[in-house]
């Protein structure tokens, strides 16, 4: 691909031609594909999840958690709480009975809800090893580590060729700062949690998706580019 200074750096863990890259291509956005992280499964969490019943809760705070746990949910399906409409749509497509979607598009909204509504059931948090457990957890919380996040080296030439970078996770922001000392180009964020990480890094947040979905962030990128004239 002939990259130009108008290209958008896709930092997300996806193969070349992956879902976000394809959505940007549909919007005639040139990209440079250079993921900052790789998500490495640690196990399917099947034992813990398969024991959950209809009075229990399964908390899935990312789309990758939904993908990794999909086959483990048994016939006695628990209630499911997710972060964001992207995770909710994926979970429903995989047959999960989504009971609660965090209104804040962060896991904090889930924990606030479950402290009141979990009742006597168990609460299973299937997560990345970097996901922070709640400071004030609901009773009966069990944590299952589904995947680790591994930093990937990105050459400095990527930064030189990018007009902006699109971020879909806090982990990618943190990896960028570890490698480059900052977020060196304007950033376009998928939602509040990622935006908070960018602001903590003193990044130039150029835009944020209206909803936490790949379609929405692709629209935000296209709108930002058109606004640059």
pLDDT exceeds 60 at position 72:
no
Helices 192-200 + 170-180 axis angle, to 10? 20
Of the pLDDT bands very low, low, confident and very high (cuts 50, 70, 90), residue 5 is: low
- Structural domain containing residue 213: 7-36+152-227
Residues 165, 118 within the same domain: no
Residues 135, 62 within the same domain: yes
pLDDT exceeds 80 at position 73:
no
Whether the full predicted model's pTM is greater than 0.85, yes or no, is: no
Residues 62, 23 within the same domain: no
Of the pLDDT bands very low, low, confident and very high (cuts 50, 70, 90), residue 37 is: very high
Residues 49, 85 within the same domain: yes
Q: Where are the alpha helices (DSSP H) in 60-142?
A: 63-69, 84-93, 107-117
Task: Report the half-sphere exposure of 35 (CA within 13 A, side-chain side).
Answer: 18
| Helix (H) or strand (E) segment spanning residue 49 | helix 46-50
Residues 11, 63 within the same domain: no
Residues 47, 82 within the same domain: yes
Of the pLDDT bands very low, low, confident and very high (cuts 50, 70, 90), residue 208 is: very high
Residues 21, 47 within the same domain: no
Residues 202, 101 within the same domain: no
pLDDT exceeds 70 at position 46:
no
Q: Is residue 75 part of a domain?
A: yes
Residues 181, 197 within the same domain: yes
Tokens of 172: 């990618």
Q: What pLDDT was estimated at residue 2? A: 39
Q: What is the CATH number of the domain that holds 81?
A: 3.40.50.10090
Tell me how many domains the chain contains.
Answer: 2
């Amino acid at each position: 691909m002939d990259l130009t200074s108008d290209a958008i750096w896709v930092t997300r863990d996806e193969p070349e031609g992956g879902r976000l890259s394809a959505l940007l291509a549909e919007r005639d956005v040139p990209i440079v594909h250079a993921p900052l992280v790789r998500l490495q499964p640690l196990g399917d969490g099947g034992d813990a999840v398969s024991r959950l019943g209809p009075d229990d809760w399964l908390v899935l705070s990312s789309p990758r958690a939904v993908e990794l746990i999909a086959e483990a949910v048994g016939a006695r399906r628990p209630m499911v709480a997710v972060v964001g409409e992207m995770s909710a749509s994926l979970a429903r497509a995989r047959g999960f009975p989504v009971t609660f979607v965090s209104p804040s598009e962060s896991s904090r909204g889930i924990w606030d809800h479950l402290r009141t509504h979990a009742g006597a059931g168990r609460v299973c948090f299937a997560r990345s090893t970097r996901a922070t457990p709640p400071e004030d957890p609901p009773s009966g919380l069990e944590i299952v580590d589904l995947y680790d996040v591994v930093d990937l080296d990105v050459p400095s030439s990527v930064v030189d060729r990018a007009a902006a970078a699109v971020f879909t996770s806090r982990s990618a922001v943190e990896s960028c700062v570890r490698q480059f000392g900052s977020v060196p180009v304007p950033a376009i964020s998928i939602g509040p949690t990622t935006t908070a990480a960018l602001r903590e890094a003193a990044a130039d947040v150029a835009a944020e998706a209206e909803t936490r979905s790949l379609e929405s962030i692709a629209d935000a990128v296209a709108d930002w580019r058109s606004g640059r004239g």
